[in-house]
Structure 1
Amino acid sequence: MTSTTSLFSPVEADLRLLTENLKQLVGARHPILFAAAEYLFGAKGKRMRPAIVLLLSRALSPDGEITPRHRRLAEITEMIHTASLVHDDVVDESELRRGVPTVHSRFGNRVAVLAGDFLFAQSSWYLANLDNLEVVKLLSEVIMNLAEGEIQQGLNRFDSSLGIEAYLEKSYYKTASLIANSSKAAGILSEVDAELAENFYQYGRQIGLAFQIVDDILDFTGSTDVLGKNAGSDLSSGNLTAPTLYALEEKPYLEVLIEREFAEEEDLAEAIALIKDSNGIPRARELAAFHAQDAVKHLEGLPPGECHQALVNLADYVLSRLY
């Protein structure tokens, strides 16, 4: 399977610089924040979101170089993403993220919440300093969407009447909105026309949805070592994703188990077995493939080259995580 390191090789040096810049931007104010920043940005994340911004920026640049404003957009994108993860882990009471202890389990809830708040505030400050109102609006909407997605997820826990459209809407808010809007923002900073900027938005949206659907499938098929968290953790917390929603159409008893919130000792294991015995996972794979393939169609206006090809290959990589 292709690694993200080789996939993002055209911007590998840019991503290393981004990581160092983020540690300095966030950590300069306070020792605790510096420790948290070292921990957050030193973690072996995929850096997919800033990589997409950097790849688009290089592909659109007449001389192939990235401007300071594009670099700052990539940094803002990763700040917003990281802030949302820190807060999500507090809300979900997750002890592990990417196989390592979460910020709140290492530094406590108080520091985690404040670190997340600080990252959102810091990203807003640097966003305003880009001096581009359209980009400010796009990324500000993302921060609202992240909160909306978390609220929707909280309100819909153990709700077996949830439909695929509502699931995709929540997935857009929680995952795809940031990728879509930061991709469009990269186009706007490069002064592309409105149609091309919208294509970048659609690329980010579809890649983001495919990525989230694949993550939700891996919650059932991946090992704890690979996931960095316990398998089936989404289902156990009442977060019903595509495999479960499709399985509910075939397995009526699954609804009973969900509605009583897996109260009996064997309920969760039985629910997972029912989902694996249904067409839920294959149908979710088809849904992910549809969104990944649609993403690539929206790259047609991007100049050819290694950055363009990396963005095409990303769609294949997202799906390859399943195999």
Structure 2
Amino acid sequence: MTLFRLGYVAMSVELKNASPSQTMSYKRFQEIGDPEVAIRRLERITKSNIHNCLRLLKHNKAHDIEFFRLSSRLIPLATHEDLIEWDYLSGINEDLIKLGSFAEANEMRLDFHPDHFVVLNSPTKEIFNSSIKVLKYHYLLLKQMGINPTHRCVLHLGGRYKDKEKSLERFIDNWSLIPSEIQKLVMIENDDTSYTLENCLYVCEKLNIPLVFDIHHHLANHDETEWEIQWERVVNTWIDSDLPVKMHISSPKSESAFKSHADFIDVDMFLDFVNKANGSTEQIDCMIEAKQKDGALFQLVDELKGHPNVVMETASSFRWKK
């Protein structure tokens, strides 16, 4: 039986005053007037974000949650083009080490999902270079935490740019321009508008990149083939990774807002996936992308506990018996 491990995204609705994404706009930075004072303000915000992230990991440990997506906004304005001289890691090295050490000591899988403006198939050189800069920021954070950066950043294939096939091939062409250490960061996720599971499998198999299957996106945007027919191919993209297979689970907010995420997870939708994927690999880490964050995880667990085919292994992981 496969072990299914549950995780959630970046913030908690249960733990109060623990945002790891406090920020400052560049406009506010300029309004401060003194660049040195403004930088010190950014550094204080950053330390608070990292401190809150550690609080979240301790909260997760208390509930046996070993899978968590870090906020990409830990360091506000870190990649802003007008702050290129700012050594944003200076002064927070020990904070990041403490964060990574706690995760390692408690065998927690941490990763990132950089924002949508990271586009590796862009035909515009400036956007491509900016995307590499953002990925380097994530790489440096992970390295400073003492976490192996390999397969820690989920990305979409990018935009259509009026020619989907050409844009898909541009991703492959651009791949050779990406430093090898940054290449190793990347996992690819099927999206809900442009690139389907089959499109992503084509790229992942060609470039040896793990595929993160998003079942909600698949329901919103798919080819004729059902996902379970392609599932073995998805699992095989993880063969060279030291990490377990990863997938995303969310539920449609409504029929009219199908692509939007609901507050909680539809347990029947999730268990349909579990039933079909069970036995395909030793472990699948399931990232919950729901508006209620850890609240959605806790509600899902409560519903799973009452199911006759679910065997809970910990407070946030289970196996499926038939």
Give the TM-score taking structure 1 as reference length: 0.30
**Larger helix proportion, structure 1 or 2?**
1
Higher relative contact order (CA 8 A, sep 6+): 2
Give the TM-score taking structure 2 as reference length: 0.30
